[in-house]
Amino acid sequence: MANAFKKSVHIGLDPEIHEGLLALAFENNLSMSSILSHLGFLLVEGDWYLHERINEFKHQEREKKVYPFSGIDSNSLFDLIENSNDEEN
């Protein structure tokens, strides 16, 4: 996975998903890119749990029963960042 020649992937995320992923990355001191790269690695390597989620999603897409994300809002994200900065000082 340490290939010097990485490929770029441009994806569109719903704002709520972007905010939730940003919060998750921030909480774990990771980048969103590194999280998505590792998830891609796990999928390619055949991670059973992720493959089950993909299979569920495939069936939901076929039935058009994919529901919107109900994640973190912008104010919660900024509060999380502010509280983290206060703890560091």
Question: Mean per-residue pLDDT for 12-27?
Answer: 93
Instruction: Look at residue 10 and tell me if it is in a domain.
Output: no
Instruction: Look at residue 84 and tell me if it is in a domain.
Output: yes
Instruction: Look at residue 45 and tell me if it is in a domain.
Output: yes
**How high is the pLDDT of residue 41?**
95
Instruction: Look at residue 67 and tell me if it is in a domain.
Output: yes
- With vertex at residue 21, the alpha carbon angle to CA 9 and CA 67, rounded to the nearest 5 degrees, is 90
Instruction: Look at residue 71 and tell me if it is in a domain.
Output: yes
pLDDT over 90 at 9, yes or no: no
Instruction: Look at residue 3 and tell me if it is in a domain.
Output: no
**How high is the pLDDT of residue 3?**
61
Instruction: Look at residue 24 and tell me if it is in a domain.
Output: yes
